[in-house]
Amino acid sequence: MASKCTMPTGRESPSVPRFSPTPLSITHYFVALEKLFSLCKPAVTGGGDKIDGAHFYTDDNTYELWAQIHNSMDDVDKNSYEDFKTKILKYYPGAVNNEHQYATQDLNDLVHKWQHHIKTKGKFAEFYRDFYSISTWLIKHNWISVLNQQKSLLCVLKFLPTKS
């Protein structure tokens, strides 16, 4: 049985949902937030309360952006959480319909970030999880070939420390 909770009262609380400004992360943020709304006692059901909660737990820059988006909504829609969420998701291309998307530059940036910086199996696993997610998405959507994926991986593997 799910445990009941109260809404966290501060952004720093370890139990608040968090996200980085990426399509996948924003989607997960709203899923976690909605779960929190339903588990809390009393449950958060009002649109206005959900909107307040959605931007309350974000960082300062995101808070300001989301508040401006909310203030620009028609008065009729200002208490509609779903309308608010739809407007917010438009600022995160690829987040609509739970489709996160990547560009080839995302893969290039990841490879560049990790070259020369993988010293342990744990760090390699951390790199590879991101590499696999991005590169397989790019292959699936015909942005890169399997050969390009392999070449990108080799760019990192060639700098791995060797056993002595």
Residues 80 and 116 occupy one common structural domain: no
Is residue 1 domain-resident? no
The predicted pLDDT at position 164 comes to 56
Structural domain containing residue 90: 23-98
Of 37, 48, 47, the closest CA to residue 8 belongs to 37
Of 2, 35, 29, 1, the closest CA to residue 17 belongs to 29
Task: From residue 48, give the alpha-carbon distance in Å to each of 4, 40, 81, 153.
Answer: 21, 16, 7, 47
Is residue 132 domain-resident? yes
Interval 43-65: pLDDT, tens: 888 888 899 889 888 889 999 99
Of 92, 89, 94, the closest CA to residue 134 belongs to 94
Residues 112 and 46 occupy one common structural domain: no
The predicted pLDDT at position 3 comes to 57
Whole-prediction pTM value? 0.61
Interval 85-138: pLDDT, tens: 999 998 888 787 656 678 888 999 999 999 888 888 899 999 999 999 999 999
Task: From residue 34, give the alpha-carbon distance in Å to each of 29, 47, 50, 61, 77.
Answer: 9, 11, 8, 22, 19
- Alpha-carbon distance of 61 to 155, in angstroms, equals 35
Q: 39-43, 48-52, 160-164: which has the minimum mean pLDDT?
A: 160-164
What DSSP designation does 161 have?
P
The predicted pLDDT at position 1 comes to 46
Angle at 92 between CA 86 and CA 96, to 5 degrees: 50
In the chain, the number of structural domains is 2
